[in-house]
Homo-oligomer: A and B are copies of this chain.
Amino acid sequence: MSDFFQVIADRAAFDQTAATKADLARGAALFAGLNCFEAGQSQTIHTHGGADKFYLVMSGKARMTVGEETRVAEAGTFVWAPAGVPHGVAEALERTVMLVALAPPPAVRSGG
């Protein structure tokens, strides 16, 4: 639509070989992007040392881990992964789209 207004569903893209990432917006203090998974795809547990992050599940369903917690997150679930806390996507149980916000932004294109 424009740089200010974007329809998430129009920006989602999938790859049978691996989860994909797309940038939505990048400012000096805040990055937003999409992580898109086919069923069965995953994101390794990782930690952002100095950055706070959240995921918002837009569609689909995935088993996700933050710290010691693992839950199945469906559309409309907000997942908070503060700086220093390991997090990841154990497995997408369906085709799944997540918005990701990261502050401060990653130094290079990463999608979080």
Interface residues of A (CB under 8 A from B): 1-9, 24-25, 27-30, 32, 50-54, 56, 58, 64, 66-67, 69, 71, 73, 76-83, 85, 99, 101-104
Contacts and interface: CB of A to CB of B under 8 A. Distances in A.
Copy tally for this chain in the complex stands at 2
21 contacts: A1-B71, A2-B71, A4-B79, A5-B66, A5-B77, A6-B78, A8-B76, A8-B78, A24-B54, A25-B52, A27-B103, A29-B50, A29-B103, A30-B52, A30-B53, A30-B101, A32-B101, A54-B101, A56-B99, A58-B76, A101-B101
A3 B79 CA distance: 9
A contacts with B: majority SS? strand
A47 to B, nearest CB: 14
Nearest to A11: B78
Nearest to A2: B69
Contact of A27 (B4, B5, B52): B52
